[in-house]
Structure 1
Amino acid sequence: MLYDLIMHHGLEYKPLLNLFRYITFRAGAACFTAFFLSLWLGPYIIAKLHKIQRDGQPIRALGPERHIKEKAGTPTMGGVMILFTLTVATLLWSDWTNGFIWIVLLVTLGFGLIGFFDDYQKLAKRNSDGLSKRTRLGGEFLISLVAAFLLQQLMPITPTDNLQNMLALPFFKTVLIPLGYFFPIFGMVVIAGFGNAVNFTDGLDGLAIVPVVIAFLVFALISYIVGNAVFAEYLQLHFVPQTGELGIFCAAVIGAGLGFLWFNAPPASVFMGDTGSLALGGALGCVAVAVKHELVLCIVGGLFVIETLSVIIQVAWYKRTKTRVFLMAPLHHHFEKKGWAESKIVVRFWIISIILGLIGLATLKLR
C-alpha cells in the first residue's frame, strides 16, 4: 500500500522515500512490522482464545501420555495471530499490482480458513477429530488448483524460455521437464501436500514454526534472485519476472513466525493449530511453484517431507501387516515414545532444518 501511494504520487525519488523502490528495504520493513505487531497483539489474542476455549485444545487420546497432563488447557488457533500480522505487513509494504502477491495471499488465507473450521470442529466436539478428510482435502485441492492455474498464467513465455508448463530441476541449469496440461495438477499437489506436511510436523512446542521460518528465509532469497534478471542470469536460474516481490511476503511470514515463537516457545502459551500450520505450508508450496523451485522445496522442507512419509509408511504398513514401523507417527512422536525429551527432539529437528536449508541454497550455485 505504501509503495503504491508513493509511486502513484511520484515521490519515489524524494529523500528517504526512495528506499521504497528497493525490495530489500520493504522486505526488512515487512519482517519487523509483522514481528512487533505479533508481540503487541499476542497477549490480547491469547487471552481471548483462553476465554473462548476455556479447556484449550483437545489432546489426541492415543498420543504421548504426558501431553494430556502438560499441554491440556493450552489454547489453539494461534494461527490467527500469524495470519493477521503477515497479511497486514504484506499489504502494507508490497506492490498491490503484483499478481503473485495476491495469489499467495489467496492460498494462505484460504488454507487458514479451512484450518480454522477444522480447529473449531475439534473444539466443538471436544476431541481431536475435526472436518472430515473429504471436506478438508476437497477444499485444499480446489484452492491449490485455482492458484496453480493462475500462477501458470503469470509465467513468462519468450522465444528461448516457456516456463508456463515446465518443471525445473535443481543442479541442472538447462533442463526443463514439460508437464503440459498436467502442470496445474502438479502445482496443486505441491501446494496441498506441503500444507498437510507442515500440519503433520506441528506436534511439539516450537517444532514446526522454526523450520517454517528457515524455509521462508531460503525462499525469500530465492524469490529475490529469480525475480532479478541480472542475478538470475549470473546464477543461471530461470528468470520469472515480478517474483522478487514475493520476498516481501516471505519476510512478513518470517517476522510473524518469530513473533509467534515468542509465545510458542516451550512451554507454549498457545498452539498455532491447523489454522496456522495449513496456511503456512500451503503458502510455502505456493511460493515454490511461483519461483519454479518445487523440487528445491523438497530439500529445504525435507523435515516436513520426512514427517509426512512417516505417517504414510505407518498407515500403509499397518493396513498390510497389522504391525507398526514406528512406535507412533508422525516421526517426532516416535522419538517421544523412545524417551527423548521434548526439547531434545525439537532442537535436533531444528538443526536438521538448518542443514537442509543450506543444502537448498547450495543448489543455486551448484549447476
Structure 2
Amino acid sequence: MFYHLLYPLSEWISFFNLFKYITFRMIYGSITAFLLVYFFMPSFIKYMRLKQFGQIVREEGPTHHQVKTGTPTMGGVIIIFSITASVLLWCNLTNPFVWLALFALIGFGGIGFLDDYLKLKKGKNLGLKAREKLLYQLILSGIFYILLFQVLGFSSTLNLPFLKRLVLDLGIFYLVFATVVLVGSSNAVNLTDGLDGLAIVPFAVSAGVYTVFAYASGHIKFANYLFIPYIPFAGELAIVCAILGGAGLGFLWYNSHPAEVFMGDVGSLSLGGVMGAIAVMVKQEFLLLLTGAVFVMEALSVMLQVGYFKLTGGKRIFKMAPLHHHFELLGWKENKVVVRFWIISVICGLLALSTLKIR
C-alpha cells in the first residue's frame, strides 16, 4: 500500500523515492510485523485466558510438561494477522508472488485453525485426524501448483545447492515434488513446535536466509554472478521473508521460556507452509533441508521412530519422538535443548548462505 500511495509522490518530493527500494521496505516491513505482534499479543493472551482456551498437553509426553496445560494457545492467529497486514502495507501488491505467499500462509493457517478449534472444543489433544489434515494440505498444495505453474507459467526445473550447472527438469513430476516440499515443511515445523521458543527461532533463521536468496534471485546481475536462477519480480519475496522474520521475533518475546502463549497448529502449519512455498518460488527447494535442518531432524526422528516401532513390534530408536523429547528424557533441561537447537539452526543457516559462493 505504501509503495502504491507514497512512491508516486517521489516525482515532487524526493524522500518518497525510498519506497521504491526493496531493502528499505524489507527493514520497515520487518519492524512493522514485530511491533504488530508485540502490541496485539497481550490482548490476545488476555482474551484466551478469559475464555479458558488453553493448551492441552498430551499425556504421553514428558510429565513435567503437564504444568503447561492451560497456557493460551493459537497465538499463530496474531502472527498471521501481523504478517498479512505488514505485507499489504509494504509490498508491491501487483506482484503475483506476494499473493501466492499469502495464499500459502492463510491456507495452511486455516487448516491449523480448524485443528486447534476442534481440540479446544473437544477438550482433548485430538483435532483433525491425520488423514484429514494431510488431505487438506494436499488439496492446498495442488491449488498452489496450478496457480504458480499453470497460470504463471513457472519453470519445473530443479537446482541443487553447491552445483552451479546441474539443472534437472522434472516436468509434470514437479507437482509431486512441490507438494512434498510444502506439506513436508508445514508438518516439520508443526512437529518441532513442542518446547518454549524451539520452533520460532529456526523459522526466523530460515526466513533470514531466504531473504537473501529471494533478493539475489530477483536481481539479474546478482543472480548471474552467483549462478542462481534469475526469477523476475522475486525480489518482493525478500520483503515477505523479512516480515516473516520480524513477526517471528515478535512472537518469541512472548513464547520464550516460560511461554506466555503457544502458536498452536494455526501458527506452525502456516509458517511451515509459507516457507515451503517461498522455497519453491525462488527455486531453492533443496536449500530448505539445510537451513531448516532442525525441522528436518525433528520430522525424521518421528518417521524413524514410527517405522522402527512397527517393524520390530514395539522397539524404539529414541526414548521419545520428536527428537527434542528424546534429549529431555536424557536429562537435558528444556532451555538447554532449545538453545542448543537454536545454535544448530544458526550454523546451518550460515552453511546455507555459503552455497551462494560454493557453486
Query: Is 2:132 aligned against 1:140?
Result: no
Q: Which residue of 2 aligns with 1:97?
A: 94
CA contact (8 A) 1:155 1:240 kept: no
Q: Which residue of 1 aligns with 2:209?
A: 218
CA contact (8 A) 1:148 1:289 kept: no
Q: Which residue of 2 aligns with 1:160?
A: none
Query: Structure 2: how far apart are the matches of 1:13 and 1:144?
Result: 45
Query: Structure 2: how far apart are the matches of 1:327 and 1:224?
Result: 42
Q: Report the AA paired with residue 366 of structure 1.
A: I
Q: Report the AA paired with residue 50 of structure 2.
A: K
CA contact (8 A) 1:46 1:270 kept: yes
- SS of aligned partner of 2:10: coil
TM-score of the aligned structures, taking structure 2 as reference length: 0.97
Q: Which residue of 1 aligns with 2:79?
A: 82
Which of the numbers 33, 45, 58 marks the counterpart of 1:60? 58
CA contact (8 A) 1:196 1:281 kept: yes
Q: How far does the alpha carbon of each residue in 1:138-187 deviate from its partner, in whole angstroms, 9 at most, with x for none?
A: 1111111221232224777xxxxxx6111111111121111011112211
Q: Which residue of 2 aligns with 1:3?
A: 3
Which of the numbers 302, 327, 330 marks the counterpart of 1:338? 330
Which of the numbers 107, 126, 131 marks the counterpart of 2:123? 126
Query: Is 2:344 aligned against 1:352?
Result: yes
TM-score of the aligned structures, taking structure 1 as reference length: 0.95
CA contact (8 A) 1:6 1:12 kept: no
Q: Which residue of 1 aligns with 2:237?
A: 246
Q: Which residue of 2 aligns with 1:33?
A: 32
Q: Report the AA paired with residue 140 of structure 1.
A: Q
Query: Structure 1: how far apart are the matches of 2:66 and 2:6?
Result: 53
Q: Give unmatched runs, 5+ long, in structure 1.
A: 157-162
CA contact (8 A) 1:155 1:164 kept: no
Q: Report the AA paired with residue 138 of structure 1.
A: L
Q: Report the AA paired with residue 62 of structure 1.
A: E
Alignment of 1:102-251 (within 5 A): 102-153=99-150, 164-251=155-242
- SS of aligned partner of 1:207: coil
Q: Which residue of 2 aligns with 1:315?
A: 306
Alignment of 1:257-272 (within 5 A): 257-272=248-263
Cα pair distance change 1:123/1:82, threshold 3 Å: same
Cα pair distance change 1:123/1:226, threshold 3 Å: same
Q: Which residue of 2 aligns with 1:51?
A: 50
Query: Structure 1: how far apart are the matches of 2:224 and 2:352?
Result: 19
Cα pair distance change 1:292/1:337, threshold 3 Å: same
Query: Structure 1: how far apart are the matches of 2:46 and 2:299?
Result: 33
Cα pair distance change 1:207/1:243, threshold 3 Å: same
Q: Give unmatched runs, 5+ long, in structure 2.
A: none
- Give the CA deviation at 1:53: 2.8
- SS of aligned partner of 1:258: helix
Query: Structure 2: how far apart are the matches of 1:309 and 1:358?
Result: 22
Give 4+ residue runs of structure 1 displaced > 4 Å after superposition: 153-156
CA contact (8 A) 1:53 1:123 kept: no
- SS of aligned partner of 2:286: helix
